[in-house]
Amino acid sequence: MFPTTRTLRRSAAVLAAGCCLALLAPISATGIARPAVPASTSLQETQQEVRPGSGASPHRVEGTGEARDRTAVSRTGVDILAVEGDALTVLATPDQLAEVERLGFPTAPLAPRTEDVPSDPLAFPPNHQGYHDFAEVTSELRRTVSEHPDIARMSSIGASHEGRDLWLLSIGTPGPDVPEVLFTCSQHAREHLTTEMCLRIVERFTDGYGTDPDITRVVDGRVIHVVPVVNPDGKEYDIATGQFRSWRKNRQGQGTDLNRNWGHQWGCCGGSSGSPGSSTYRGAAAFSAPETARVRDFVASRVVGGEQRITAHIDWHTYSELVLWPYGYTYAETGPGLTARDARVFATLGRQLAATNGYTPMQASGLYITDGSIDDWMWAAHGIWSYTFEMYPRGAGGGGFYPPDSVIERETARNDEAVDLLLSYADCVPRVIGETCS
Ligand code: 0X9
Ligand code: ZN
C-alpha cells in the first residue's frame, strides 16, 4: 500500500528508495532517454498509448527552433515529447518519420530507456508512491473537508466517461464582492505531478487558515476552486498495470485529448487532430468529452447576476517549465475578443508569474499551435484570465512525465508564490498594468 497521509506522503520517497532498483520492463514514453539540452524551452506531449510493437519509436528531430517548425512536425501526427532548443523529441511511426524527413527536418533515433517494475500492480511504481491515485485524492479531499468544515466544501461537478466523480474542492465564502479563482489539474492523464499541485493548493489554504495570517486573509477575501483530477479515467488507466502507459487522453473510445476538446475555435487551425487514434484527437465535437463538458458547466454556474465570479485560472500541466497564455490557436497576439490591452495584461502578469518560479513565459502559440485548449475557451467564453503552467522538469533530464516522488514537495512549493500572486490580482487583474477596476 502506499501512503495516504500528508506525513507519509512526505516520507514516501525515503521509504521507496530502499525498495527496488530499475528492472527491465516494456518500453514506455516514460522512460525515453531525452538528450539533456541546456536552456530547453519546452515540450508538448504525447498522446497515444506507447506499447512494445506499436511501431512508434523515440527520435530526435532537428531544425525545429521556431514555433512554425514545431507546428509542422506536430501536424504529421507524431507525439511530441519534448521541445528542447532547436530539437524536438518525438515518438513516431516509420510513416510519420518519413513525412517529417520529407518536410526537411533531419531525424535521428534515440535509445529507449527501461522502466521500473512496480511491486504493487495497483499502485504507483517504486519511487512514485508519494503520488496520489484517484482513490487517494478522494480520501484526501474528504479528510480536508472533515477537518475544515467551516471553510472547505467538496462536491462532484459530474461524472467522467467511466463514471468517476469529478471532484471540486472549494475554499472560502462566496459573495457578490468575492473574486473566485479556479485551478484545474490532470487534464492529461500522465501528468501526475499536477494532481499533487492541486492537492498542495488545497492543503495550504485549509491547513494554514486561522494560523497563518497571509493565508487567512486570502481565504477571507477569495473563493478558491480546485478540480484536482479533470481526467480521472485516464489517470487510473495510466497506472493500472503498474507500468506507466504514457497515456494522455480520456478513456472515451480511443480517447479524446481533453485539451483539444474545448469550445473556442475547436479544430480550427491544425492544432489538433480529427483522427481518433491520434494523441491530439479533438473529439467528435467541442465538449464531446464529459469531463470538459462538466467543467464548462461548473464555470457557467459561477455566472451570478450576469457576472462571472471566476476572474482567474491556472490549468496545470507538465512538463517544460512554462507559463502560457491565450491565444493558442493563432500566432497573432490579438484576436477576436482579445485586444492589445488584454494581450498586455496577459503578458505582463504572465511574466510576473514566471519570475516567481523561473519558468519561461510566452503566448501559448509560441510553443506550437493548439486549438480547442482550455485557456482559449476560459478567456473567450468567460473573460477569465487563464494561464497554462507546464511544470517540472524543464527538459528530459528530470524524469519527463514521471519524475520521482522526491520532487513533489520542492516542485509544487515552487509555485506557491505564483499562486499567491494570481490570487492577489484576482479582484482586478488589469491592475497589473496600472488600470483600476470599478
Ligand atoms: O499540448 C498541450 O496540450 C500542452 N502541452 S502538454 O505537454 N502538457 O500536453 C500545451 C498547450 C499549449 N497551448 C495552450 N495552452 N493553449
Ligand atoms: Zn498536458
CATH number, domain with residue 65: 3.30.70
The full DSSP string for 132-184 is: --HHHHHHHHHHHHHH-TTTEEEEEEEE-TTS-EEEEEEES---TT--EEEEE
**Cα gap 117→243, rounded to integer Å:** 7
Atom of ligand 1 nearest to the CA of 328: 16
Q: Which domain holds residue 67?
A: 46-109
**Cα gap 254→252, rounded to integer Å:** 6
Atom of ligand 1 nearest to the CA of 367: 12
| The pLDDT of residue 5 | 29
* Domains held by the chain: number: 2
- Residue 301 and residue 180 share a domain: yes
Sheet holding 322-325, edge to edge: 152-159, 165-171, 223-227, 180-185, 310-318, 385-391, 322-325, 360-363
- Residue 171 and residue 86 share a domain: no
- Residue 134 and residue 187 share a domain: yes
CB-based contacts of 222, cutoff 8 Å, min separation 6? 172, 178, 179, 180, 181, 423, 426
Whether 411 lines ligand 1, by a CB cut-off of 6 Å, is no
- Residue 305 and residue 187 share a domain: yes
Whether 388 lines ligand 1, by a CB cut-off of 6 Å, is yes
- Residue 172 and residue 63 share a domain: no
Question: 336-355, pLDDT tens digit by residue?
Answer: 999 999 999 999 999 999 99
Average pLDDT over residues 162-167: 98
**Cα gap 222→210, rounded to integer Å:** 15
Separation of first and last alpha carbons in the chain = 53
> Among residues 45, 49, 99, 390, which one is catalytic?
390
Whether 188 lines ligand 1, by a CB cut-off of 6 Å, is yes
Å from CA of 44 to ligand 1 middle = 6
Whether 375 lines ligand 1, by a CB cut-off of 6 Å, is yes
**Above 90 in pLDDT, residue 430?**
yes
Q: Which of 44, 75, 402 to mutate to test the pocket of ligand 1 (most atoms within 8 A of CB)?
A: 44
Nearest CA to ligand 1 atom 1: 44
| Predicted model pTM | 0.83
Question: 93-115, pLDDT tens digit by residue?
Answer: 888 888 988 899 989 887 654 33
Could you tell me the pLDDT band of residue 246, with boundaries at 50, 70 and 90?
Answer: very high
236 is catalytic: no
| The pLDDT of residue 112 | 54
- Residue 213 and residue 153 share a domain: yes
Could you tell me the pLDDT band of residue 194, with boundaries at 50, 70 and 90?
Answer: very high
Å from CA of 317 to ligand 2 middle = 4
- Residue 310 and residue 221 share a domain: yes
- More confident position, 25 or 252: 252
Atom of ligand 1 nearest to the CA of 315: 15
- Residue 200 and residue 297 share a domain: yes
Query: Where residue 237 sits, what CATH number does that domain have?
Result: 3.40.630.10
Question: 50-59, pLDDT tens digit by residue?
Answer: 333 357 777 8
Contact 32, 15 (CB under 8 A): no
Cell 477569495 belongs to residue: 222
The pairing of beta strand 360-363 with beta strand 385-391: unpaired
